[in-house]
Structure 1
Amino acid sequence: MDTTPALIVSLLVGLGCVLAVMTATALRARRLGIVAVVDVAWGAGFVVVTLVTALVASAADAADWHRWLVLAMVAVWGGRLAWHVRSRALGAHGGKEDPRYEEMLGGSLAEVGIGTAVRRVFLVQGVAQWFVSIPVAVGAVLALEHTWVLALGVLVWALGLTFETVGDRQLDTYMSRPRDERPPVMDQGLWGWTRHPNYFGDACVWWGLWLAAAASTGWVVALATVLCPVAMTLFLRNVTGAKLLEKKMSQRDGWDEYAARVPMFFPRPPRS
């Protein structure tokens, strides 16, 4: 049976979902004057894409259950992430723009205008979101072939979710302490294994989801979509994630010593 039409439909539906989410987010950003609300749409947008593509696929093949498992995985990850970053995007900076986005825009949203924000932030993140979501959109319309690959994907996803959730919780605990009662650099728990456990966990989540999708796509399509988790990993490590954050963090006392003994991204046991 030729599945090409179904694959094309699923990809176009996913693209439409991303367009709708980013358009709504840009309107919200203009109203609030804060581009950082796009961080909330990052996790939530993946949930929307996976939900809608699963519903569209189920109209043709309601019996294949694995797409609902993948949806649950994306929903748990994306829902938690959206809820977590909401307080940071809208509250932690006291209603002010996240410095990362001010650097991207070359000023505040009021200074550069919503058009610049759309080109430099919303369009870029929208394209990235659609590209990264391709494996789950493709996997939603194909029948499960390799249960063991699906199980492996769930394990990798669970590892990533643990790193991300625990890392965020440890950082929140650290930030809740008075500034004069906490060390200048967070180096406890998972932060002693990697300087960015949340970003590493995020990358693992999408490698797990790629494996879960590969369980239904067959190896040819799986290899064709492997660039999606690769792009997510590079995005988290080298673009808007770890590398950008370290520009600010490297100015703190004790950072050089911390960076010398703790790896930037891939974790390893703490060194003395």
Structure 2
Amino acid sequence: MNKTGSIVRVGIAYVLAFAAGGAWLAWGPATSSLLLDGLIADLIATLVVFAASRIYRNSSFYDAYWSVLPPLLMVAWWVEIGSGGDRARSWLVLGVIVFWSIRLTGNWLYAFPGLHHEDWRYAMIRDRAGRAEILADLFGIHVVPTLQVFAGMLPVYAVLANTDRPLGALDILASVIGIGAVLLSFFADLQMYRFVARRTPGQAMDQGLWSWSRHPNYFGEFAFWCALAFFGLSAAPQDWWWVVLGAIAMFAMFQGASIPMMEQRSLERRPAYQQVIDCIPRFVPRPPRRRNSLADNALQD
């Protein structure tokens, strides 16, 4: 299946998913909490995407859901909460989220080759689960990431629900971090694409932003969710204990799952990557221990 046809199918699945979630919000039995209503709608939409993943035997159907859902969820909450009070912070948060969403979804559109391809991590997760592969697919690949993103959106709900505090220094800091995080991820991905296009077999990336961190794109993604947490703290400092849960969950995901899986695969495919590990920080960017290019000493696969 070519790329265009694949994107159309993914797009149709998302339209159906968001329609199902929106129908729940509009006509489903409301709970006593708008936050819980949003979570149920989010999970319903996730189940529709999961169904499409099973039909096409490709869990990469879920990939863009991560970046498309947040602005829609914020708008849905905003409509339900209403427009009372000072909404300057809400517009600022929405702008940062939309900027992030466009960047990350655009990255997916650029890199997605089509439904003939599936992220290698998904097959590995299902294979490790054996007979329980459908549960691993449902929860490990679809539901758990949805819950992580929803946790990351908790400070956005706090911003919408608390409009009595004026903009302050923390909002400015959050805006700078959010925009900077998006730009960091953009340039990190751009540098990696250019490197992959011209690398030799076995060559390990250690240039540009990747000479300051082994995973600058992941750090940028984590920083974005921290920015949302700062917005939430500015709007509702009394709720600090739950508005930071999403950022903590993202950090745990990157450190406990994403980075170990990527590094193990890199070591298996490019032994020279061990030199990168020895000299370049794992996550938080800082100057490398030495400046000469590790790629010049790369080993062959």
The TM-score normalised by the length of structure 2 is 0.77
Maintained 8 Å contact 2:92/2:175: no
Aligned length: 257
Equivalent AA in structure 1 for residue 40 of structure 2: G
Structure 1 residue 112 displacement after superposition: 6.9
**Partners of 1:31 and 1:69 in 2: how far apart?**
39
Matched with 1:208 is 227
Equivalent AA in structure 1 for residue 142 of structure 2: F
**Partners of 1:183 and 1:269 in 2: how far apart?**
24
Matched with 1:4 is none
DSSP 3-state at the match of 1:207 = helix
Matched with 1:188 is 207
**Partners of 2:188 and 2:288 in 1: how far apart?**
15
Structure 1 residues 236-251: aligned runs within 5 Å? 236-239=254-257, 241-251=258-268
Name which of 52, 71, 92 aligns with 1:47: 71
Name which of 90, 93, 102 aligns with 1:67: 90
Maintained 8 Å contact 2:222/2:247: yes
**Partners of 2:84 and 2:62 in 1: how far apart?**
34
DSSP 3-state at the match of 1:268 = coil
Equivalent AA in structure 2 for residue 118 of structure 1: L
Matched with 2:7 is none
**Partners of 1:208 and 1:45 in 2: how far apart?**
18
Name which of 70, 95, 112 aligns with 2:116: 95
Matched with 2:172 is 151
Name which of 121, 125, 129 aligns with 1:104: 125
Deviates more, 1:163-172 or 1:122-131: 122-131
DSSP 3-state at the match of 2:64 = helix
Matched with 1:167 is 188
The TM-score normalised by the length of structure 1 is 0.85
Name which of 28, 45, 52 aligns with 1:28: 52
> Which stretches of structure 1, 4 residues or more, deviate above 6 A after TM superposition?
none
Structure 1 residue 36 displacement after superposition: 1.8
Maintained 8 Å contact 1:37/1:86: no
Percentage of matched positions with identical amino acids: 22
Structure 1 residue 191 displacement after superposition: 0.3
Structure 2 unpaired stretches of 5+? 1-31, 291-301
Structure 1 unpaired stretches of 5+? 1-7
DSSP 3-state at the match of 2:284 = coil
Maintained 8 Å contact 2:86/2:166: no
Residues 115, 253 of structure 1: CA spacing in aligned structure 2 closer, same or farther, 3 A cutoff? closer
Residues 236, 113 of structure 1: CA spacing in aligned structure 2 closer, same or farther, 3 A cutoff? closer
Matched with 2:248 is 230
**Partners of 1:9 and 1:61 in 2: how far apart?**
19
Structure 1 residue 114 displacement after superposition: 4.8
Task: Find out whether 1:265 has 2:283 as its counterpart.
Answer: yes
Coordinate RMSD, CA, aligned: 2.4
Maintained 8 Å contact 1:50/1:74: no
Structure 1 residue 14 displacement after superposition: 2.7
DSSP 3-state at the match of 1:71 = helix
